[in-house]
Structure 1
Amino acid sequence: VEAKLENKIKCKAVIFTLNQGIVALSKEAEEDFDFE
């Protein structure tokens, strides 16, 4: 059971990191292309 919990935490951490990367890329893209 503990191993499953650890895997869940790792998965959440990976998803969180990916989301942060996507957000960072989106912000950079917005700066490159000024949508007005």
Structure 2
Amino acid sequence: MFELISMILAMSHLIPSLSYLLEFSFQIFIVYNTAIP
């Protein structure tokens, strides 16, 4: 799981738009987890 995240982060450095999309989806992921315990 951590390897997948680090690989995506490495790709996001190459593609700025992917980095923005990843950050946006990650914020939704956090909100979804905190909204549903």
Report the TM-score when normalising by structure 2. Answer: 0.59
Higher relative contact order, structure no. (Cα contacts within 8 Å, ≥ 6 residues apart): 2
Q: Give the unaligned 5+ runs of structure 2.
A: 1-13
The percent identity for this pair of structures is 4
Report the TM-score when normalising by structure 1. Answer: 0.61
From the CA coordinates, give the structure whose radius of gyration is larger.
1
Question: Which residue of structure 2 lines up, in the alignment, with residue 13 of structure 1?
Answer: 16
Q: Could you list the runs of 4 or more consecutive aligned residues of structure 1 that deviate by over 4 angstroms after TM superposition?
A: none
* Matched ranges for 1:1-36 at <5 A: 12-34=15-37
